[in-house]
Chain A
Amino acid sequence: MFWQQVVNAIWLGAVYSLFSLGYTLVFGVLGILNLAHPSLYMWGAFIGLMCVNAGLPLWLALPLAMIFSGLMGVLLDRIAFKTLRDRNAPHLATLISSIGASIFLISAAQGVFSAQVSRFPFGVFPVKVFTLGPVTITLLQISILAISLAIMLFLRWLLMGTKLGQATRAVAFNPVTAARLGIPVDRVIMQTFFLAGALAGAAGVLLGLAFNAISPFMGGPMNLKGLTVIVLGGLGNIEGAVLGGFILSFSEVMSVAYLSSDLRDAVSFVLLLIILLFRPNGLLGRSSAKRA
């Protein structure tokens, strides 16, 4: 029973991390909380589903959904954030704008798709179950874990090992300094939104497959979870988001298994409250120093 929960928490945590990385990345670079991030997650799931329904294989549907939600992230920035940034609007305006964008994206999904829960067709992924002593794990769960980890490693390489990553971190620390060095700040911001959107889209497709329930409202619970994860790890902190993702998944899975299944969505709120009270800068904390 316990080891089964551990396995469940691991693959779920990987997707939470994936989702939250995009959230925290935008915060790290721009210092804004993009509350429309979960809507990109939801759109990613729908696009993945659409691709599959159109007869495309899953391995193609996933990257297509990522590209789509990435582009949507860029568009979101151009419309909802850049306009305000250019006018030096206060953070509150940006936050409200992101809530507005989120409502718009949810309504649009209701119009384009359906307010009902949609599902992937049966057999879209081979049903295969592995048993290892007391623990069972499906091929789907293994694949979700592997894909999430691969994307995270890729992101790590991109940020730490490439010129683009150095430029992104320079913009995150001080956009004025970055511009002096010749870094096209606006282009870096667009790339950041693309990455964040693509990460959200990937998480959408993967969790859509795992729970096989896709609806315009699926982003709702993710909003609180993502917020909890990035606050846990320290806003803007990349490693922190990964750590936070696993802490949340373990807390959720264990409380559901040993306390009550009603607790699933309450867990993130309790965690959020605890961290805000006792370690407001997060476990790996201090992104404020990063942005000083």
Chain B
Amino acid sequence: MLNVSHLTVNYGAIEAVRDLSFEVAAGQVVAIIGANGAGKSTTLNTIGGILKPRSGKIRFDGHDISAMRADQIARLGLAQVPEGREVLAPLTVEENLRLGAYVRADREAIESDLQAMFMRFPILEKRRHQPAGLMSGGEQQMLAVARALMARPKLLTLDEPSMGLAPLIVNQIFEIISEIRAEGVTLLLVEQNARKALQVADYAYVLERGALAYGGPAAELRQDERIVAAYLGN
């Protein structure tokens, strides 16, 4: 589904991601964990076409997307839940959701998906006609996830969906991630909350200062003493 090989990304002279290679197979949940500044967001933003790689290749669903624009990549079936949620604050909740389906043309299916999102996230229906920016952080995170699902993506990337949220909301978010996973959507999840991430993931990679430090089945990483000491703390 997604194949990243020898990816290097720079911000000017700063090398944020160095010679990174990994894979996400269809139907899998893959987690990337790492400390602040490890290069997790840079990796996701490069896959999404927001940043351009300095070198390396990214293949998605049979296409070389390394040089494509973000909107073209979205059209191929990649949806993103970006860091900091990025809801369109002045637009209403419903408009945000509809724009999630911007790449689709199947009108009736969009309407039924919209209703399905309202069933799944009742708060979004309650706030339907309100500007998205007026909602709480947790509600905005729900909206960001629901908006991405409106694209009916082949691959969904999530950048720290638990960031800055109360524990109760974090649990809720991870429940939703498990549900999405059960529906067979391929997921690439970036998290600082390594414990949670390793619980939902099939496979996981650890990024350290822009480079791959470990990679393996999530169950194995959960047992690995070095990982436990470095990322699972207490």
Contact = CB atoms under 8 A, between A and B. Distances in A.
A169 B88 contact: yes
A191 to B, nearest CB: 14
A182 B69 CA distance: 9
Nearest to A287: B90
Contact of A170 (B75, B82, B88): B88
Contact of B91 (A166, A183, A184, A292): A166
Name B's interface SS: loop
Nearest to A185: B71
Contact of B71 (A163, A179, A290): A179
A129 interface: no
Given A173-B88, A173-B91, A179 B49 contact: yes
Which residue among B89, B147, B151 has the maximum number of chain A CB atoms within 10 Å of its CB?
Answer: B89
Interface in A258-292: 289-290, 292
Given A166-B91, A169-B91, A182 B86 contact: no
A163 B99 CA distance: 8
Interface string B71-102: 10011000010100010111100010011101
Interface string B102-115: 11000000000000
A182 B153 CA distance: 12
Interface string A142-177: 000000000000000000000100110110011011
Contact of B69 (A169, A179, A181): A179
Interface in B31-64: 48-50
Interface residues of A, number: 20
A182 B90 contact: no
Given A163-B102, A166-B98, A174-B86, A180 B70 contact: yes
Given A166-B91, A166-B95, A169-B91, A180 B86 contact: yes
A185 B74 CA distance: 13
A167 B91 CA distance: 10
Given A166-B98, A167-B99, A170-B99, A182 B88 contact: no
Nearest to B77: A182
A290 B74 CA distance: 24
Nearest to A184: B71
A173 B147 CA distance: 16
A163 to B, nearest CB: 7
14 contacts: A169-B88, A169-B90, A173-B88, A173-B89, A173-B90, A173-B91, A174-B88, A176-B50, A178-B99, A180-B50, A181-B99, A181-B151, A184-B71, A289-B90
Interface of A: 163, 166-167, 169-170, 173-174, 176-185, 289-290, 292
Interface of B: 48-50, 69-71, 74-75, 80, 82, 86, 88-91, 95, 98-100, 102-103, 147, 151
Shortest 5 CB-CB distances between A and B: which pairs? A182-B74, A179-B70, A182-B103, A177-B86, A182-B102
